[in-house]
Structures are given as C-alpha cells and as structure tokens.
A and B are shown apart, each in its own frame.
Chain A
Amino acid sequence: MGFGLLFGMGTLALRFLQFLVPSPKPKRYEAVLIGSLSRVPVGEAVPMDLSGQKIVVLRTNEEVLAFSRRCTDLGCLVSWSKEREQFLCPCHQGVFDKTGKNIAGPPPRPLDRFEVVTRGDQLYVNIQSS
C-alpha cells in the first residue's frame, strides 16, 4: 500500500511539474522582409526586432549578414562597434568578429546566423518563428 501511495503521489507530482514547465512551441522558417539594401549602409549594423527575434543586419564590403543579437554566453544582447568592427556583449565582455565568430571573453560558440536572401533591391531574412 505504501508503494502504491508513493507511486500515485509521484505521478501526480510529475504531472504538476509538467503543468508548470511549458513545452516549447513548434518552429518554422519564414522569410521576413526587412527593407531595401539602402537601409543598411556599408560598415554599419542595424538592429531589428522581427516578431520577438532580436537580430542585427551587418553590411560589409562584400556581403550582407544577419545574426541573432543573443550572446551565446548568457543571452544578453550584442551591439556592433563600428570602430572595432566587432560585436560586443556588455554583460560579460564577450567579443565576436564580423563573421560572428567568438574571439574573446566567455562565449562558447559563434553568434547564431540567419540566411539573407536578396530579391531585387529587397532584403529578406530567413528566421525561425513559433
């Protein structure tokens, strides 16, 4: 009987825990229009919020890149430093280069990168949204 009671209580506790922990929502990729190429001057990075996804679009001499602004260390937001040509995280001094690679500080991996598609003069970013 003791075991049965324990089993019942355990199952109930597990269900309560499931109640408290929301399950992740399914995600799908979608292309979001972010504007014309002229919106992002060469050497600049423009931060944007695409339905909750905080991204930064960087235009170098060669190409246009889109990164998640979320620092891969502990989730603060990185900002572009034009002088240093690096992404800097103010929380724990993480540094990423212009390809998003982690080069200094605690971040364990590069910034998440999104695909940028150019259709005519318009830029689209493929982001994951729920």
Chain B
Amino acid sequence: MESAASPVERRTGSKNWIDYIQKDLPEHLDWWPYTLGAIPLTLFGLLVTTGLLLTFYYVPSPDQAYESVEQITHEVYLGWFVRGVHKFSVDLMILFLLFHVIRVFLTRAYRTPGELKWVSGSIVFFVTLGMGFTGYSLVYDNVSYWGMTVVTSMLGNLPVVGLPLMYLLRGGEEVSGGTLLRLYDLHTKLLPVLLGGLVLGHVIIVRLKGFAEVKGSRGFHPFYPEHTLVMGAIAVGLLVLIVDLVMIFPPTLGPPANTQEVASDVSPPWYFSAAYMWITLLPGPLSLWSLMGGAGLFVVYPFLDRVLLERGWPMPFVNVVVGVLAVLVFVALMVLDVRM
C-alpha cells in the first residue's frame, strides 16, 4: 500500500489512503447533473453481480446457447428477473454514461488538467459499448446472430488490420460456434476485467486531477458520511427503478438464430440504432470511416478544444451547438430506425 500511497501523498499531503478517500469533495457533487458519473459505476456493480449469476446457466455453444437463455428466462427460479436486471442495467449504464458525457461536454470539464479524465472516460464508454455488443450476441436469437455477422464484417472492412481482426473475432472465416465462444470469452472475462481496470483508473484519475471547478461551489463536503449517503440514496433509487422496469417489461426472446434466413428486423439495441441507421444511409466505406473518425475526434476532443480556443473560437458556444446537433442527429436516426 505504501507504494500506491506515495504519489497520492505527494499530491494531497495525506498520510494514508483512507485520508485520501476521505478528502473533502466540492459541494456541487451533490447537485444532480454532477452525480451522473457515479450512477454508471453503481450499475457496473449490478451488472457484474447479475452477469456472474447468469454464467451459472448460460452455455456458449450454438446448439445450446439459445436454449439456455430460454431456460433462464422461463424455467429457472427468478431467472427472468436476473436476466431483466442485467439487461436494464446495461441500458441504463449506457444511457447515464451518455448523460455524463453530455454534462462534461457542455461544462467543458475536460479542460486542463482534466484531459486524461476525458480520454480515460471515453475509453470506458467504448468498452461498455463493446460489452453491449458481445452481450446481445450471446442471446443467439436471429437478431443477435445477424448482428454478429454485420458487426464483424464491418470490422473486416478496415484497412490492414481489418481482416486479421475479423478472423480473430470470428475464429475463422464465417460466424460459427467458435465466434460465439470468443464473444463469450470477451464478454465474461477480458472485457469486464478491462472495464473494471479502466473504471478504477478513471476514478483514480478524477481524484488525482481533482473535480472540475464550478462557480459558487466550495470544497467542504466530506466523502463519508455526506457524500456516501447521497450515493447510497441514488443507488437505492436506481434499484427501485430497475426492479419496476423489469416487472413492467420482463425480458423477451426473439426467434432462434437462423443461418439461412436474415431476421425480418435486424435492428440492434437502441444504443447501436443510430450507428446502424448511419451505415444504412451512407455508402459502406464512407459510413465506416466517418464513424471511426467521429470516435477518434471524440477521444481527443479536449486537445481539439484547446487548439480551437487558441485560434479564437468561442468554445462554450461551439460545444452547445455541437452537443445539441449530436443529440438531435442521434435521436433522429433512432426514430428513423423505428419507422423503417
């Protein structure tokens, strides 16, 4: 613990890690828009717990995957509930990550010294989307089978690394049992460990770099008990919300994967729906490159902001315009996907 505490000690002057955690927080962390980062963290915990439970029944083989999900949903005691909580937790985690990104973007909280907070957070966001994709592939209904085909083909179109990457994910030329096993490995082992590490890193970076300064907010807010109580209340609220959602919308299951016939509606979950419409509307290479370029710009945005600001751009205004446009395009593409 000593070696871990030393950089902390240098920055904070604290003697040990408990002092460091207990360091006062700014008041504004009690304000609703500033709690949005802790919500995905809570949901991540819920996802790990329910995910672990689901692995006790799920079988990652093409012959049994769908049946095992059916068994979880219809036969296992409270199976539908555990699967429902898992499903809604990921939906809400991505939703609140989006809210959190929007809040940070609009308040430009990534400004120096917060660049690393943004970069680490944006990687957390992409890995979470990767978890979403690998997760819905495991259900092995027709939508997930063709989703797997489309997404891995899309990666295969990338220059140089595309084909090896596609082979790596598929475990061969075609989507097969090997693909399912690889996505299962990614979803239940590699990505959760990576995501856990990244989330921890993100939280440590936020504590080391400090929270964004907000006018009128003072730093008189101890982590325990005040802040812990607020977070606890939010966690309880979230649990109530998720339980309600699962009761009202219990998890369903589409028709099983049919390798001979594409599902009539292959629309992916809502968080991929905008990207899905984007690749439908634009010709192949252009849509792929624009998505990759957009993701790259997203990660390095704090540095772009700095360059543009030096050239005299009114960045607070630019961010509002970009943020509103991005949300409008995202929603418009989602609506279009529902209508088509």
Contacts and interface: CB of A to CB of B under 8 A. Distances in A.
B167 A21 contact: yes
Interface in A84-130: 89-93, 105-108, 130
A17 B171 CA distance: 12
Interface string A67-97: 0000001111101000000000111110000
A76 B167 contact: no
Given A73-B284, A106-B282, A22 B261 contact: no
Contacts of B172: 22
A64 B264 CA distance: 28
B261 A106 contact: no
B262 A108 contact: no
A79 to B, nearest CB: 8
A22 B167 contact: yes
Contacts of A79: 261-262
B287 A106 contact: yes
Contact of A106 (B146, B149, B168, B280): B280
A76 B146 contact: yes
B150 A108 contact: no
Interface centre among A73, A89, A105 (most CB of B within 10 A): A73
Contacts of A89: 262
Interface stretch (A2-10, A33-41, A47-55): A47-55
Nearest to A48: B260
B254 to A, nearest CB: 15
B226 interface: no
Contacts of B167: 21-22, 24
A92 B278 CA distance: 10
A1 interface: no
Interface in B145-161: 146, 149-150, 152-154, 157
B168 A92 contact: no
A91 B284 contact: no
Given A20-B168, A76-B146, A91 B262 contact: yes
B75 interface: no
Contacts of A90: 262-264, 266
A17 B174 CA distance: 19
B164 interface: yes
Nearest to B147: A91
Given A21-B168, A22-B172, A90-B262, A74 B153 contact: yes
Contact of A108 (B149, B279, B284): B284
B279 A92 contact: yes
B19 interface: no
A93 B263 CA distance: 13
A75 B284 CA distance: 12
B150 A76 contact: yes
Contact of B283 (A74, A77, A91, A106): A106
A107 B266 contact: no
30 contacts: A21-B167, A21-B168, A22-B167, A22-B171, A22-B172, A25-B173, A47-B260, A52-B174, A54-B259, A54-B260, A74-B157, A74-B284, A75-B150, A76-B150, A76-B262, A76-B266, A77-B260, A77-B262, A89-B262, A90-B262, A90-B264, A90-B266, A91-B262, A91-B266, A91-B280, A92-B279, A93-B280, A106-B279, A106-B282, A106-B287
Interface of B: 146, 149-150, 152-154, 157, 164, 167-168, 171-174, 259-264, 266, 279-280, 282-285, 287
Given A21-B164, A47-B260, A91-B262, 6 more contacts: A25-B173, A52-B174, A75-B150, A76-B262, A79-B261, A90-B264
